[in-house]
């Protein structure tokens, strides 16, 4: 016995796939989808670049480098100078806060290769903290007073007001510290 409902089901007939593509075609037309020609991809493809294209790319890259390298050098000078400023201001803050917290005197010594913090203890000056100086960042150090001292209340001890100038290339940053312990970055 033959099933007379065979051609009513789209999954069993031979034209089922064609019907599905027709339905897809309706939606594709609605979405403005274009059918790609099967011969489109069989055309000869060119491989590589022409000499003219390569020369244009090299000229553009050279122009970008010519403008970018001096700016990058200035940017590196600024970054390294800012790192040295951060090191100096951190040392001043650590020294001052250490003197206040331990109710003793603290001494900060600035040299190009080392920033050192000492505290005054029972046996005299004892090293508390040491870090590489500005020369580790390629920055030069100019200071009006290389030794700064803080008293137990955080005020400058003796002649402790100072002016520190950090330079690298065209970049220069100035840090001043008043006798009351206030630090300013210019």
Nearest to 140 by CA among 166, 121, 170: 166
Across 23-32, 164-173, 175-184, least confident range: 23-32
**How is the chain split into domains, by residue range?**
74-185
**What CATH number has the domain spanning 74-185?**
3.55.40.10
Q: CA-CA distance, 91 to 10, in Å (whole number)?
A: 82
Band the pLDDT of 58: cuts 50, 70, 90. very high
Q: CA-CA distance, 102 to 50, in Å (whole number)?
A: 74
- What confidence score (pLDDT) does residue 139 get? 96
Phi, psi of 107 (to 5 degrees): -125, 130
Q: CA-CA distance, 108 to 114, in Å (whole number)?
A: 10
Q: CA-CA distance, 115 to 132, in Å (whole number)?
A: 6
pLDDT in tens, 120-142: 988 999 998 899 999 999 999 99
**Average pLDDT estimate for 27-46:** 63
Band the pLDDT of 118: cuts 50, 70, 90. very high
- How would you classify the pairing of strands 106-110 and 140-143? unpaired
Report the chain's mean pLDDT, rounded to a whole number.
Answer: 84
Band the pLDDT of 61: cuts 50, 70, 90. very high
Among 20-24, 63-67, 70-74, name the most confident range: 63-67
Q: Would you say residue 1 has pLDDT above 70?
A: no
Q: CA-CA distance, 145 to 140, in Å (whole number)?
A: 15
Phi-psi region of 55 (alpha: psi -120 to 50; beta: other; left: phi over 0): alpha
């Amino acid at each position: 016995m033959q099933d007379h409902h065979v051609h009513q089901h789209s999954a069993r007939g031979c034209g089922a796939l064609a019907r599905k593509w027709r339905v897809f075609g309706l939606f594709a037309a609605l979405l403005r989808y274009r059918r790609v020609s099967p011969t489109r991809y069989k055309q000869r493809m060119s491989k590589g670049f022409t000499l003219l294209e390569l020369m244009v790319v090299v000229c553009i890259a050279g122009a970008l480098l010519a403008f970018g390298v001096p700016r990058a050098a200035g940017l590196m000078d600024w970054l390294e100078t800012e790192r040295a400023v951060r090191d100096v201001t951190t040392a001043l803050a650590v020294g001052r806060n250490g003197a206040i917290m331990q109710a003793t005197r603290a001494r900060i010594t600035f040299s190009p290769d080392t920033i050192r913090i000492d505290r005054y203890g029972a046996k005299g000056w004892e090293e508390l903290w040491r870090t590489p100086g500005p020369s580790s960042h390629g920055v030069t150090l100019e200071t009006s007073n290389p030794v700064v001292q803080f008293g137990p209340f955080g005020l400058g001890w003796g002649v402790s007001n100072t002016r520190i100038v950090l330079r690298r290339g065209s970049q220069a940053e100035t840090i001043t510290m008043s006798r009351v312990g206030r630090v300013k970055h210019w």
